[in-house]
Amino acid sequence: MRFSILPVLALAGTFTNVLSAPTPEPLAVERRATTQAAIIQSLITTVVPSLSAINATAHAVTPASPPAVLAKAEAAAKTEIAAVVTAFSASTAQLKALKSARDTTAIATRQATVPLGVLLGELVADVLAAVDALLNSLGLGPASGLLAPLGPALSALLLALEVVVDDLLLAVETLVNDLLTGLAAGLILAK
């Protein structure tokens, strides 16, 4: 059996490349994700009372309720939906401002105790529960007119979060490229 030091040196070079890669970008990604999580947490806190009011209104009526009661419920739901859409729009503007301000000098700290995905799941589940309650109590016709502005506002909010995924994929791509380059060099030297 023949022993060569070259593969060992190539492997050590691979780990040196990976460990010496610059890290400010992943830290900035974590900080932006944390800040975005704080914005979404604030949005949930703002929106939950309106969604609770929509649920209460929806559970107080049925499609067989008198027209006056249905009209009053529609007006109350429309006011609360407008408040939800306004909160979505404000959070979307904050997220877009955060997206344009790419400050990478501060040290990243972990402020969010709940991951961004969990917060988004909670937000979407709350919105869907309110939509379902409205559809069941008012029927499809009246509820569809009330819910029309909610879809685009939620879509814009989710699109504003796209930068987290893009930046994270860029950091992973850089890491994998450096790792594969080092491994390729090690395999070439081993032959």
Say if pTM beats, i.e. exceeds, 0.85. no
Q: Which pLDDT belongs to residue 43? A: 93
Q: Which pLDDT belongs to residue 96? A: 85
Q: Can you say how many angstroms the Cα of residue 66 is from the centroid of all Cα atoms in its chain?
A: 41
Q: Which pLDDT belongs to residue 55? A: 93
Q: Which pLDDT belongs to residue 147? A: 84
Neighbours of 82 (CB within 10 A): 14
Q: Which pLDDT belongs to residue 27? A: 46
Q: What CA–CA distance (Å, rounded) separates 32 from 50? A: 27
Q: Which pLDDT belongs to residue 163? A: 58
Q: Which pLDDT belongs to residue 1? A: 53
pLDDT in tens, the chain (191 residues): 565 665 555 555 555 554 555 544 444 444 555 588 888 899 999 999 999 999 999 999 988 889 999 999 999 999 999 999 999 999 999 988 876 665 443 333 444 456 777 888 888 889 888 888 888 888 877 787 888 888 888 888 888 877 555 555 666 677 667 766 766 666 676 66
Helix, strand, coil tally for the chain in percent (to 5):
80, 0, 20
Q: Which pLDDT belongs to residue 111? A: 45
- Per the CB < 8 A criterion, the answer to whether 88 and 153 are in contact is yes
